[in-house]
Structure 1
Amino acid sequence: MTTDPCSSDDAKRRHAEAEARFLAGVEFLERGDTKSAERCFREALSFSDALAGAAANLGYILDQRGQQEAAEAYLRRALELDPHCATAALNLGALLTTAERFKEAEAMCLKAVALRSESPRPWSNLGVLYAGLKREAEAEQCHRTAMALDAGNLAARFNLAYLLLRQGRYEEGWACLEARRWYAAFAARMPCPRWQGEPLAGKSLLIGYEAGHGDMIQFVRYAAVLRERQPRSIDLVCHPALTTLLAGQCGIDRVFGFDEAIPDGGWDYWTPPLSIPYHCRTTLETIPARLPYLRAAPARIAAWQPRLPAGGLKVGLVWKGNPRFENDAHRSLPSLATLAPLGGVPGIRFVGLQKGAGEDEALHPPAGLQLTSLGPQLADFADTAAVVSQLDLVIGVDTAVAHLAGALGVPCWILLPDYQTDWRWLKERADSPWYPGVVRLFRQTRMGEWGGTVEALRDALAERFSKARPAAVRSAAGRSGG
């Protein structure tokens, strides 16, 4: 049996076919048709396995789908074929950052910067990596370099906002936060101009929704601030689970859920809630922090009171957040069992407030942690407020319930992750100017390790209980004697 080598004409034909498939894939990718783009890139590689661009784009598509292992393989293949493929280096650096392989990520991000130093994206990505590693001066320089290369680069400006706000540099931080665009779909529905700080006397304003439940609870306080400017009306659009709670609070006239039919007009202006601090020029010293600014409905309080445990200090627990949140793997506890040491503090009656992910764990709490599970019964945040308002303390991870407790003026201890701690809790502080005298922060000392944090929390709980017990005993004695 004999074989013939591939002719030069055949090689040229296959290369031309590969190039044609590659260009078609690029067009599909630009249109957002990733399925067709993937097919074209795979076909291109079948004609020529040396096409670095096709491998790089295929790696990008797979990464966007969450297929990180396969994506990494294609991105590395692209760099083997062409060590100067900046796109592959850029995307591989981002993938490694997400995978928390920080040493590899830094090397690849630096490679992307070296290959494309005139582009803002590699600098911005390197800044994100450095910010997560708490190398904040380097992170800031990266973001500012990206902005200098392209003053209109929203990603770099937005990333810098988180860094500045975490440092308490609010004046520039709020301005940079205006680069966010996650409310774009809502903005497109608005028939009136966006409020840019104009006088509101006699005007009607709609505060739109953005981000999560906790953000809305934290920033709804600004409705009361704007009410002092004597507008004709202030209405609010929010998440459906918040409508009943927020109706009539903070000087708000009407509340709509974003799943409802919202009137086509009738407002002079609209604004996203997280833009209000910018227009109000909020600093650390001027945060509107009069507590409580939310109150639970008396009827709901009465309805929930019989379901609460009798006697002792009542402490609510929340151990997980929304799994769709980008840093949830770090902010949420592995399980309710992580809080088992708290059960060793005598006289505490724990109340489970967990809804969604993790709520089933409350049905079988760890040994020694006596827990009354109410989370599955909570229909909305009005119910949660009614329960929380009757507790002595809430202990939880960084979720909406923590903001709710703070807004209600109920003491709340929050467990914070070491990695990518949310900007609103600032740096190194154990308190919060957003909820003064109410919130206490317990921070991880090492990424991913909750043991020491929970031990510190348990000791603080024991100390609090020892101080509170005499008052509780006197109160119980007074009731029995009356």
Structure 2
Amino acid sequence: MTATSIPGDTPLALAEAERAYKQALTLHPQDAEALGNLGRIFRAQQRLPEAALALHLAITIEPHDVQARVELALVLADLGRLSEAEATLRAAIAERPDHADAHFNLGLVLENTARLAEAEAAYRKALQLRPGAVAVYNNLGNVLQRTGRAQEAVDVYRHALSLNPDVPPSHYNLATALRALDEPYEAEPHYRRALDLQPDYFDARFGLGTLLLSLGKFEEGWPLFESRYALPRFLHHRTKAALPLVQWQGESLVGRSLLVWQEDGLGDVIQFGRYLPLLKAAGAKRIDMVCAASLHRLFAQVDGLDALLTHDEAQSKFDDYDCWTSLLSAPTHLSTTLDTIPSADYLKVDTARAAYWRERLANALPPGPRIGLVWRGNPRHHNDAHRSLASLAQLLPLWSIPGASFVSLQKGQDEDEAQRPQAFQPVLALGHELSDFADTAALISQLDLVASVDTSTAHLAASIGTPCWVLLPHHDPDWRWLHGRSDCPWYPGTMRVFRQPRAGNWSAPVEALLQAALARFGQAS
């Protein structure tokens, strides 16, 4: 449900229509209808300031033209002037309370400003006025998903499909909601139907790719995962546009210089760094990696890597390379299957720093199991509200492990809790003493276990061989953990996974982790 489109919207037709309306306005400057149509033409040409001016003049001449107000609101929203767009739509609704488009577009503006309850009300009002509007059902379902009501969203999307079964976004949205309900096998055919209807639907390609990867169907999943480069909402799209190099697509690397570019998170680099020796073995003459400075010392001794650069340092060196890749594209081009995942044993621990931390722990803690803790991830992560614990207190049951001492690996402001622990929950806060990931690896090598949420420290611990147990959210667990598994084939024998049975319930996986720890350290209950 959008505003009226301009017939014959080819560039030539729009240009001809623009000339015609301008000629009409020369003869009749107060022609509100001609001004409104001119504004629509400008919007179709993405000449947004001119469109806003023309529509504003049309409304000044004819204040009761509700459609012109709706059109103006759309232009204002395109310009990012959302508060003005909202006011314009509310004025249109005051003039015509039964104008379905006005309510729908008000919902869009409210949704874009995260006023989800108000957006839901606006969409529901639009549906009262136009019950068969599939686009409104799709947006209503999106709001329900964002407010954690995935089952209601599923019902709404299914109703949209009952009205029109051939709308690709309805299938894509339903697939997304079904995944949120942990029903990947029901989601898969809807991703596929969306792609049958619209083969260039890259959101659906990416969604199907991550779903297949989560099911261990790597052969089909990896190539679809590459569609992230076609999605403007991802950093990958901007990286590909900005780098003045050919992106490696799996062709021979023999005799070529390869630049590995970090565009994903720190944990991604650590998990997929295992591919660096394989890329060198494939014949690359030189492999340099661009990554965060905090990773440089950790990766300095990795086989197959010739040099490490920061993103800024790389800007003047592009001419030195034949092509570039992301580490997360390596599994695609090296045809990784579930049975051929490379070993994670590729990182070396700094022996001097390990000795330092061994003495530091011996002086600070009594004998007994030493367990490292990470309870919060990067707050900028899209799923952090679900993957991170609210506080260290949610791990309190672990303090019943006899003889265990706890070490906080948490860094940043979230470490404050560990630096001022409760008397009944003592913990040694060391996060602020860790200079980089090499230092963190050295400390972790001196621990008996790491218990962590889904964050980079978990990958680091498992990669250096320290047992790591990960607490995973029910809502949108990352594809890399695979669906329904309690182990992790990326880190066989080193990592275990403890999943929420439902969204928000951390007590169950924490209790399961506790029982596993009691069994491991000889104190099974």
TM-score using structure 2 length? 0.81
2:80 and 2:340 mapped to 1: Cα distance?
44
Counterpart in 1 of 2:345?
Answer: 292
Letter in structure 2 aligned against 1:270: W
**Corresponding position of 1:84:** 132
Query: Mean Cα displacement is larger for which, 141-150 or 429-438?
Result: 429-438
1:67 Cα deviation after fit: 1.9
Q: Distance in 2 between matches of 1:376 and 1:180?
A: 35
Tell me, yes or no, if the aligned pair for 1:72 and 1:95 is still in contact at 8 Å.
yes
- Correspondence list, 1:268-347, <5 A: 268-289=322-343, 291-308=344-361, 309-310=364-365, 311-347=367-403
**Structure-2 change in CA distance of 1:34 and 1:193 (3 Å):** farther
The count of corresponding residues between Structure 1 and Structure 2 is 456
Give the RMSD, CA atoms, in angstroms.
2.3
TM-superposed deviation, 1:236: 1.2
Q: Which piece of structure 1 moves more, 235-244 or 96-105?
A: 235-244
Structure 2 letter corresponding to 1:205: L
* Structure 2 residue matching 1:179: 3-state secondary structure: helix
1:210: how far off?
Answer: 2.3
How far, CA to CA, are the matches of 2:327 and 2:94 in structure 1? Answer: 51
Instruction: Measure the CA separation in 2 of the matches of 1:127 and 1:331.
Output: 21
Distance (Å, rounded) in 2 between the aligned partners of 1:457 and 1:110? 38
> Aligned partners of 1:161, 1:205: CA distance in 2, in Å?
26
Instruction: Check the 8 A contact 1:340/1:366 in 2, yes or no.
Output: no
Q: Match of 2:262, as an amino acid?
A: Y
Alignment equivalent of 1:426, drawn from 482, 488, 501: 482
Q: For residue 270 of structure 1, report the CA deviation from its aligned partner.
A: 0.7
Deviations 1:127-161 (A, max 9, x none): 00111212223211111110001000011111111
SS at the partner of 1:178?
helix
Residue pairs, 1:186-205, within 5 angstroms: 186-205=239-258
How far does the alpha carbon of each residue in 1:386-439 deviate from its partner, in whole angstroms, 9 at most, with x for none? Answer: 211221111111111000111111111111223322211112322211111111
Q: Does structure 1 residue 222 correspond to structure 2 residue 275?
A: yes
Q: Which runs of structure 2 are paired with 1:5-84 in the superposition (5 Å)?
A: 13-16=62-65, 18-30=66-78, 34=82, 36-84=84-132
1:393 and 2:449 equivalent? yes
Whether 1:141 aligns to 2:189 is yes
Whichever residue aligns with residue 148 of structure 2, its letter is E
Q: Identify the structure with bigger relative contact order (alpha carbons < 8 Å, sequence gap 6+).
A: 1
Match of 2:150 in 1: 102
The CA distance in 1 between the partners of 2:163 and 2:413, in whole Å, is 43
- Cα distance in 1 for partners of 2:328, 2:164 equals 34
Question: Among 434, 440, 446, which residue is 2:496 paired with?
Answer: 440
**More moved, 222-231 vs 183-192:** 183-192
Q: Is the 8 A contact 2:150 2:178 kept in 1?
A: no
Query: What does the per-residue CA deviation read over 1:213-238, in whole Å, with 9 as the maximum and x for residues that have no partner?
Result: 11111111111111111211111122
Distance 1:26 1:410, change over 3 A: same
Name the aligned partner's letter for residue 184 of structure 1: H
How far the C-alpha of 1:30 sits from its partner, in A, is: 4.2
CA distance in 2: counterparts of 1:260 and 1:235, whole angstroms: 12
Cα distance, 1:15 vs. partner?
4.4
Distance (whole Å) between structure 1 residues aligned to residue 413 and residue 174 of structure 2: 32
Gaps of 5+ in 2: 1-58
Q: Percent identity?
A: 44
Match of 1:471 in 2: none
CA distance in 1, matches of 2:359, 2:212: 46
Q: 1:380 to 1:46 in 2, by over 3 A?
A: farther
Match of 2:212 among 164, 167, 170: 164
Task: Indicate conservation of the 8 Å contact 1:220/1:250, yes or no.
Answer: no
What per-residue deviation string (whole Å, max 9, x for no partner) do you get for residues 67-92 of structure 1? Answer: 22222222222222322333322111
Distance 1:427 1:236 in 2: 31
- Counterparts of 1:383 and 1:68, CA distance in 2: 43
Cα shift at 1:189:
2.2
Q: Deviations over 1:156-198 (max 9, x none)?
A: 1111112111110001111111111321222222121111111
- Kindly indicate whether the alpha-carbon contact (under 8 Å) linking 1:444 and 1:452 is maintained by their aligned counterparts in 2: yes
Counterpart CA distance in 2 for 1:295 and 1:368 is 36
Distance between the aligned counterparts of 1:66 and 1:441, measured in 2?
A: 33
Q: Tell me which residue corresponds to 2:224.
A: 176
More divergent stretch after superposition (139-148 vs 178-187) = 178-187
Q: CA deviation at 1:366?
A: 4.4
Matched, 1:121 2:175: no
Amino acid at match of 2:276: A
Q: Does 1:465 align with 2:521?
A: yes
What CA distance in whole angstroms lies between the structure 2 residues aligned with 1:337 and 1:401? Answer: 20
Report how far residue 303 of structure 1 moved.
4.4
Contact 1:14 1:47 in 2 (8 A): no
Q: Secondary structure, in 3 states, of the residue corresponding to 1:286?
A: coil
Classify 1:357/1:211 alpha carbon distance in 2 versus 1 (closer, same or farther; 3 Å): farther
SS of the equivalent of 2:97 reads coil
1:360 aligns with 2:416: yes
Check the 8 A contact 2:151/2:181 in 1, yes or no.
no
* Matches of 1:60 and 1:239, distance apart in 2: 37
Query: 1:434 aligns to what SS in structure 2?
Result: coil
Aligned 8 A contact 1:322 1:357 in 2: no
Following the alignment from structure 2 to structure 1, what is the Cα–Cα distance between the partners of residues 74 and 161? 23
Structure 1 stretch 276-285 or stretch 247-256: which is displaced more? 247-256
Quick one: structure 1 residues 60 and 239, their matched pair in 2 at CA, closer, same or farther if it must change by over 3 Å?
farther
- The change in CA–CA distance for 1:275 and 1:19 in structure 2 (over 3 A counts) is same
